[in-house]
A and B are shown apart, each in its own frame.
Chain A
Amino acid sequence: MDFIIPAILTIATAATPLIFAAIGELIVEKSGTLNLGVEGMMIMGAMAGFATAIATNSVILAMLAAMFAGAFMALVFGFLTLTLLANQVATGLAITIFGLGLSALIGHSYVGITFDGLSKGIPLLQEIPLIGQLLFGHDIMVYMSFGLVFLSYIFLTKTKAGLILRAVGTNHDAAHSLGYSVIKIRYMAVIFGGAMAGLGGAYLSIAYTPMWMEGMTSGRGWIALALVVFATWKPWRALVGAYIFGGITIIQLNIQGFGVNIPAQYLSMLPYLATILVLVIISRDKILVKMNAPACLGKAFHPNS
């Protein structure tokens, strides 16, 4: 049974990039904006984070650069959809394609190099038998992801700013008539979402697999988007969902390693099947949808209309 604790540690690394990206997108969607550009923002974060880590040898600067890169992409999205009122779905897709291409172009000279990556584990504490590795054997960003979930929960439910954000997402006309600047609030949410997606991407390039490769996010941005719906826009559920998504991947790899003959494709499908199932269930229950889904999701807002 020696493999169980390492397997759990691996699940944490698989789940962490999803948590960052999903929580970021959750806040964006709570403000009533749908940004499908998560994949593009993540890969830009991965690129910027890796390049900065190589140049400065500082993971803190790398994380900041990744957040900046993600936020920059989000700002482009925000300008197009919030100021110019472009279609959010089309713009989000464009941001994804743009990010994948731009990161490949900028990252050309970074292919084939590597560095040590984030260090793992808290000294001394991780030596505690049984729970030491489990609780204290992770890298710093895993703890940050838990902190982010907690803070976003507090923000959305316990603070005035969070309630305003939700009001903007639920009924932007009402929020506008109360004197809140819908566009400004949505800009802030979109930029925050971009920064978090960038951070999630950086986790891939500085902790998960410390290297840069074109297209290295491999669709994780899309999983994060699915995760937001799966979580019915609640941070805690996003956390659980990310661990389920990551866990299924790692468990199916473990099962294969033991030579059990379950077709891996079915297990790979499971997270998506679960998302579809959750979608069907929440769409059937009208009250639940009203409680959770931001009513203005994806709708453009014009102050004069």
Chain B
Amino acid sequence: MGNISKIITSVIAVAVIAVGGYIYSNVSAIAGEVAAKDFKVGFVYIGPPGDHGWTYQHDQGRIAVEKALGVKTSFVENISEGPDAQRVINQLAASGHNMIFSTSFGYMNPTLKAAKRNKNVMFEHATGYKQAENVATYSARFYEGRYVAGHIAGKMTKTNVIGYIGSFPIPEVIRGINAAYLGAKKVNPDIKIKIIWVNSWFDPGKESDAAKTLIDQGADIIMQHTDSPAPVQVAEKRGVFAIGQASDMSSFGPKSHLTSIVDNWAPYYISRVKAGMDGTWQGGGDTWGGFASGMVEMSSYNDAMPQDVQDLATSIRKGITDGSIHPFAGPIINQAGEVIVKAGDKPEDAMLAGMNFYVQGIDGQIPK
């Protein structure tokens, strides 16, 4: 009897395992089919999505892609530029992501290496300058926004001094300073620009010290090329105006915040992911979009701006969008008096991308 019950038990056990395995294999088959239909997009972030600046805007773009196209997205935050980035990008490629956006300059070489190993994955790298067959690069013409901001600043200032907080003296930032100055100069010939470098992208304390110093030295408009809203907050306390960066910072200065230059990655992300799904995506190219492509936007204007200033800002933005206005249209002359862009000419992108000079009229020198 003991033997029989043993046999029965083992038969039941085998049956249970077999049935279970059958069900399991079916379930996984269904899951596999669904996954094949899905298009997976991965994002690599340098900071946390809650930084209220650079990474926040990229994450908004990711959310927009999910909403518009219904694809699956995933992101990895706080990835330092270096070996970590390499590992994370490889892992995203290996785990079935069809397209990967790496959103910081320092991810350039890790992205290229991962692209070499994963030929069937499409890569998009922000702000880089090296492409490959399956790597495209993209950035935004923030200087267009700064040119509009410069016009606003030139009109709104009473002391004729703009205070500008710089992060690092790289072409991107220098281009912004020049664009802001040229814009302000157009509407206010007496304008002066004071520049303080804080040697950091993100240090609220130091940024606020820089803003205070600029205000103490007579600036009544604060512009920034750093990521924290601290300067806007200082401007609010001191009763002067400020222009924000990367995302809408109006909650930090309801009275002081005139507008922000906003990075809007959503249109680009949606069009690229769509192209990837259609099979029309191509690597090897670079996209440098501004107002016209929707990559750069201005957040809503503060009511403190008189109607004529708002209208001016709107018309400059419109002009840049339709191509009738270019912030760096000739004549562009550097501090040494050399003509960089001849009168009537439009600048070449290569010159803009590598800009390492102040235009005539700006005091001081670029730190070496």
Contacts and interface: CB of A to CB of B under 8 A. Distances in A.
Interface of A: 2-3, 6-7, 10, 13-14, 104, 108, 111-114, 117, 204, 208-211, 213-216, 218, 220, 249-250, 253-254, 256-259, 261, 263-265, 268
Contacts of A211: 204, 228-230, 233, 252
A121 to B, nearest CB: 12
Contacts of A208: 204-205, 208
Interface stretch (B3-11, B89-97, B124-132, B211-219): B211-219
Taking each of B52, B205, B210, which has the highest tally of chain A beta carbons within 10 Å of its own beta carbon? B205
Given A7-B216, A10-B216, A220-B205, A264 B367 contact: yes
B251 A253 contact: no
28 contacts: A3-B217, A6-B215, A6-B216, A7-B213, A10-B213, A13-B209, A104-B48, A108-B50, A112-B52, A114-B229, A114-B251, A204-B204, A209-B233, A210-B233, A211-B204, A211-B252, A216-B204, A253-B196, A253-B213, A256-B195, A257-B163, A257-B194, A257-B213, A261-B367, A263-B368, A265-B199, A265-B367, A268-B199
B365 interface: yes
B80 to A, nearest CB: 13
Taking each of A211, A258, A264, A268, which has the highest tally of chain B beta carbons within 10 Å of its own beta carbon? A211
Given A14-B205, A211-B252, A264-B367, 15 more contacts: A6-B215, A7-B213, A104-B50, A114-B229, A208-B205, A209-B204, A209-B205, A211-B229, A213-B51, A216-B228, A218-B202, A256-B195, A256-B364, A264-B197, A265-B199
A257 B218 CA distance: 10
B346 interface: no
A257 to B, nearest CB: 5
Given A211-B233, A213-B204, A257 B214 contact: yes
A214 B196 CA distance: 24
Nearest to B366: A261
A10 B202 CA distance: 19
Nearest to A107: B50
Contacts of B368: 263
A204 B195 contact: no
Interface string B224-255: 00001110011001000000000000011000
Nearest to A104: B48
A261 B169 CA distance: 14
Contacts of B209: 10, 13-14, 249-250, 253
A250 B199 contact: no
A62 B210 CA distance: 26
B196 to A, nearest CB: 5
Interface of B: 47-48, 50-52, 163, 194-200, 202-210, 212-217, 228-230, 233-234, 237, 251-252, 363-365, 367-368
Please provide the 7 A-B residue pairs with the shortest distance between their CB atoms, ordered closest to farther: A259-B364, A6-B216, A111-B50, A253-B213, A209-B204, A3-B216, A218-B203
B230 A214 contact: no
Nearest to B365: A261
B108 to A, nearest CB: 24
A111 B51 contact: yes
A258 B217 contact: yes
A194 B245 CA distance: 35
A256 B206 CA distance: 14
Contacts of A6: 212, 215-216
B233 A114 contact: yes
Contacts of A216: 204-205, 228
Nearest to B203: A218
B219 to A, nearest CB: 8
B51 A214 contact: yes
Contact of A254 (B198, B203, B205, B217): B217
A209 to B, nearest CB: 4
B162 to A, nearest CB: 12
Contacts of A257: 163, 194, 196, 213-214, 217
A256 B48 contact: no
A257 B209 CA distance: 12
Contact of A261 (B203, B213, B215, B364): B364
A117 B234 CA distance: 11
A277 B127 CA distance: 41
Contacts of B210: 253
A113 B251 contact: yes
Contacts of B230: 209, 211
A253 B50 CA distance: 28
Contacts of A214: 47-48, 50-51
Contacts of B194: 257, 259
A259 B251 CA distance: 32
Contacts of B365: 261
Contacts of B228: 209, 211, 213, 216
Contacts of B364: 256, 259, 261
A152 B205 CA distance: 27
Contacts of B206: 218, 249
Contacts of B205: 14, 204, 208-209, 216, 218, 220
Contacts of B48: 104, 214
Contacts of A254: 213, 216-217
Contacts of A112: 50, 52, 251
A302 B194 CA distance: 59
A268 B198 CA distance: 9
Nearest to A218: B203
Contacts of A210: 233
Given A211-B204, A214-B48, A253-B196, A114 B217 contact: no
A14 B207 CA distance: 12
A129 B228 CA distance: 35
B311 to A, nearest CB: 30
B358 to A, nearest CB: 11
Contact of A218 (B47, B200, B233, B234): B200
A10 B208 CA distance: 10
Contacts of B216: 2-3, 6-7, 10, 254
B52 A114 contact: no
